[in-house]
Amino acid sequence: MTALLATEGLVAGYGDVTVIRDVELEIRPGEVVALLGPNGAGKTTTILTLAGELRPRSGRVVCSGRDETNLPLHLRARSGLAVVTDERAVFMKLTVAENIRVFRTDPDKVIELFPELRDHLHRQVALLSGGQQQMLALGLALSRSPSVILADELSLGLAPMLVDRLFEALRTAADNGAGVLLVEQYVHKALAIADRACVMDRGRISLSGTAEELTPRVDEIQSSYLSGADAPSADA
């Protein structure tokens, strides 16, 4: 099966600093791949490079067999890539309905994904809770049926119940054929919905396996690679 998104020897960074080295990832249709690691490991840098916001120094980004290494974000988005981050990329001064119109998507699809937003369609997004804002951001992305979803620390600052709700939507998208790369520090929750996982340490993939293989090793992974972290926070 051809991977929806794959990297080959990916190297990237900022200025004179190289952050990720020789990163090899593969995301196939119908699966969630969890990318785990401590702050500063390079997870967000990986997401930015895959999204086309950061140009790699070497290596390749391949989408459905096509070399898209130097393709910018807006062109990757047209070919089916969606990026959702902890920054909740929505227009705070607009209402929920106005955001949906700006994103040119179907309001029925957004509400079907997150019925919790139905009663807030005409409410300014700035007045919503953080969880509702993240539901809207994810709903806008998923309503366009992307083939690949890059989700970066969606859980940041949210209650566990809301995190479960967001992760449920990502799992459903994968079950419907999309490929999902989930950057996360809630290790247990990430592995609960993932098919495979990779642990990043100091810019490299240091451990990988199926979720079934890695779940019994959560304590080891946290102590050896994550410095005991099991709560979301920012990443370099």
CB atoms within 10 A of CB 171: 17
- pLDDT of amino acid 14: 96
pTM: 0.91
3-state secondary structure of 196: strand
What's the CA dihedral at 27, 209, 224, 24 to 10 degrees? -40
Q: What is the pLDDT of residues 68-83, one digit of tens each?
A: 998 888 888 888 999 9
Count the alpha carbons within 13 Å of 92 in the hemisphere toward its beta carbon. Answer: 6
- pLDDT of amino acid 105: 95
- pLDDT of amino acid 99: 97
Torsion sign, CA atoms 105, 108, 112, 118: positive
What is the Cα–Cα distance from 123 to 91, expressed in whole angstroms?
12
Q: Where are the domains of the chain?
A: 1-80+146-154+175-236
Strand partners, 17: 14
Taking alpha carbons only, the member of 129, 73, 127, 139 closest to residue 100 is: 139
- Helices (H), ranges, 83-155: 96-102, 107-113, 130-142
3-state secondary structure of 121: coil
User: 66: Cβ–Cβ under 8 A, 6 or more apart, which residues?
Assistant: none
Which CATH entry fits the domain spanning 1-80+146-154+175-236: 3.40.50.300, 3.40.50.1820, 3.30.565.10, 3.60.20.30?
A: 3.40.50.300
- pLDDT of amino acid 227: 63
- pLDDT of amino acid 234: 35
- pLDDT of amino acid 231: 40
Per-block average pLDDT, block size 10, for the chain (236 residues)?
93 96 97 94 94 94 91 84 86 96 95 96 96 95 96 90 95 98 91 96 95 93 67 38
CB 51 within 8 A of CB 83: yes
- pLDDT of amino acid 233: 37
